Structure 1
Amino acid sequence: MYSGLILILMPLIIGYLLPLTWRPLLVAVNKLLSWMVYIILFFMGISLAFLDNLGANLLNIARISLISALCIIICNVIGLELLARRYPWRHAHQQQALPSRLHMALESLKLGLVVLAGFVTGLSHWPPLSHASEASEFALLLLLFLVGLQLRGSGMTLRQILLNRRGMMVACVVWFTSLAGGALAALLIGVSLNTGLALGSGFGWYSLSGILMTESFGPVIGSAAFFNDLLRELLAISLIPALILRHRTSALGLCGATSMDFTLPVLQRSGGNEIVPAAIVQGFLLSLLAPVLMALFSA
């Protein structure tokens, strides 16, 4: 039963245990990781095109992704606002001018276009394309190994994580409320509790959640997980400037796992350098938890 869990965690753990410190190699790992994400999402689109009853499945994907995204985000906001009331975040930063949010949103949508390209390619039903699922499994193992290397190479030590109380608190609230939202979504959608919890465990990391969920639950749930987490990131990009002054904790928490990379520049420009350590700690913890939780609930 847990062989799939072990298979997913092993390359991640091996990558994290390797002490990679040479900067040029870290840059190469990051570039290769980006390309691997595109390749696997392309395979995911191909697998989607091979589904039976395709029209009904596309509507199902839209229904699952919208309901799960709403449930998870609402639970996140409730938990984060309760945390902010109990532990107010004092700051004196004045918001700066931001880069184009439309440009950043388009960068996120590029991955969606890769899935669409794979889907269109798969509609040809060229026989070799039927092996896309098997090819994506091997690519996934390499991806997880690279993710482990990237997390280790971030330079975040256990001492730094434990000392940043705000980042840890926000990460814990996002963790628990995302699972609560996933459980609620499972009831509304009519899927198993494990599936709902796995949907809630992506924490906005759409590229990884789409891949892992496709391998475990098939292309319908995998695609729904991808769009669920993509909606979360797009919403975070749009709302950070509006929330950061009065709802600083919610602005950080909505970014989820992406607060240590993609949404970090927006957080820094809106909330100042003070928010950066908390953002990195939250992103690091949730990035570490996401594949572990999804693998656990998939098993």
Structure 2
Amino acid sequence: MLSGLLIILVPLLIGYLIPLRQRVTLIWINRLLGWIVYIILFLMGISLAFLDNLSANLLAILHYSAVSIVVILLCNCAGLLLLERFLPWHHRHRQQKLPSRLKMAMESLQLCGVVAAGFILGLSGWSWLTHTTEASEYTLILLLLLVGIQLRGSGMTLRQILLNRRGTLVALVVVVSSLLAGAINALLLGLPLKTGLAMASGYGWYSLSGILMTESYGPVIGSATFFNDLGRELIAIILIPALVGRSRSTALGLCGATSMDFTLPVLQRSGGVELVPAAIVHGFLLSLLVPLMMALFAA
């Protein structure tokens, strides 16, 4: 248990302590992160192919992810709608022309193709592919080191976080409602409570949560978490324009950790420039919490 916790926290902390501010270096780190994510998801697909009772496990992945998506989104929406009711987010923004949501969705679905490619290769049964687990672990350590550097390099200070009350409140509601959903999922799916809570702590950051959960709980739970968080992002892309006029808190909260990067353009054009600071704070807080919460529950 302790080794799994240290694998997540130590490289993340070391990366966060590295004070990189050069824009060119940070851009290269972001690109490298993207490549590493593809590599690890490819390795995750290979691991899936080596599962015993493969057909039964694939059905389990589908079942876990489908139930998790529904329960987490319902709990998030309930909490965020209550927040909007008691603390309305007033605005005067008129919605602009949106970027292609289909194109954004297809970019996300490319990651499914990477997992599928790894799965197909794994079906070959070549002996050297049995070293996938060790390769995934070392690649994960590098990934977390770079994530720590990226979070430090974002320049987000404690003062900026505390001053943006709305972004912090929405993130808090997402965390609490997701934990409630995780407990419900554990009950519905017959999983240990800590496993359900860990699966609900990805907050839409599918490229990291699936990898961390595979490392801690194996490829079935890891893959289910990946598809759960990927589904969350795709649903958010579709619903943001419709929700932002009725409940800005809900539109922001459904984006999860991606509100500071991938879904930020949709949020900005749908909700206006004044939504951007809250979105960045919200996404930063959830991005910071994903590895920490998963490390806690994995231990």
Q: Give the TM-score normalised by the residue count of structure 1.
A: 0.99
1:209-229 superposed Cα distances (whole Å, 9 cap, x missing partner): 110000110000000000000
Partners of 2:99 and 2:265 within 8 A in 1: no
Map 1:131-170 → 2, pairs under 5 A:
131-170=131-170
Residue number in structure 2 paired with 1:216? 216
The alpha-carbon deviation at position 2 of structure 1 amounts to 2.4
2:72 is matched by which residue type in structure 1?
A: I
Q: Secondary structure at the match of 2:273?
A: coil
Give the AA of the match of 1:101.
R
Question: What SS does the aligned partner of 1:274 have?
Answer: helix
Q: Which residue of 2 aligns with 1:286?
A: 286
Partner of 1:75: 75
Q: Deviations over 1:7-59 (max 9, x none)?
A: 21011011111110011110110000000000000000000000011001100
Post-superposition shift, 1:3? 2.7
> What amino acid does structure 1 have at the position aligned with 2:286?
L
Alignment correspondent of 1:267? 267
Long gaps (5+) in structure 1: none
Cα offsets for 1:145-184 (capped at 9, x unmatched): 0000111111111110010000000000000101110110
Q: Which residue of 1 aligns with 2:191?
A: 191
Q: Which residue of 2 aligns with 1:65?
A: 65
Matches within 5 A, 1:89-238: 89-238=89-238
Q: CA deviation at 1:100?
A: 1.1
Question: Within 1, Cα distance between the matches of 2:263 and 2:93?
Answer: 18
3-state SS of the aligned residue for 1:125?
Answer: coil
Q: Distance in 1 between matches of 2:120 and 2:269?
A: 38
Per-residue CA shift, 1:83-115, capped at 9, x if unaligned? 001100000000011111110000000111100
Alpha-carbon distance between aligned partners in 2 of 1:120 and 1:8, rounded to the nearest angstrom: 29
Report the CA distance between 1:69 and its aligned residue: 1.0
Q: Which moved more, 1:3-12 or 1:263-272?
A: 3-12
Q: Matches of 1:135 and 1:294 in 2, distance apart? A: 21
Cα distance in 1 for partners of 2:269, 2:120 equals 38
Alignment-derived partner of residue 251 in structure 1: 251
Hey, which bits of structure 1, 4+ residues long, moved more than 3 A? none
The residue number in structure 1 matching 2:298 is: 298
**1:101, 1:78 → 2: CA distance?**
25
TM superposition shift of 1:279: 0.3
Offset of residue 260 of structure 1: 0.4
Q: Does 1:44 align with 2:44?
A: yes
CA drift of 1:269 comes to 0.7
Q: Distance in 2 between matches of 1:48 and 1:296?
A: 25
Q: Point out where structure 2 has 5 or more consecutive residues left out of the alignment.
A: none
The DSSP-based 3-state class of the residue aligned with 2:204 is coil
Q: CA RMSD in A?
A: 0.6
Distance across 1 between alignment mates of 2:256 and 2:217: 23
* Separation of aligned partners in 2, 1:161 and 1:16: 17
Specify the SS of the correspondent of 2:12. Answer: helix
Amino acid at match of 1:158: L
Looking at structure 1, the residues matched to 243 and 233 of structure 2 have their Cα atoms a distance apart, in angstroms, of: 15
Does residue 15 of structure 1 match 2:15?
yes
Q: What does residue 240 of structure 2 align with?
A: 240
CA distance in 1, matches of 2:76, 2:218: 27
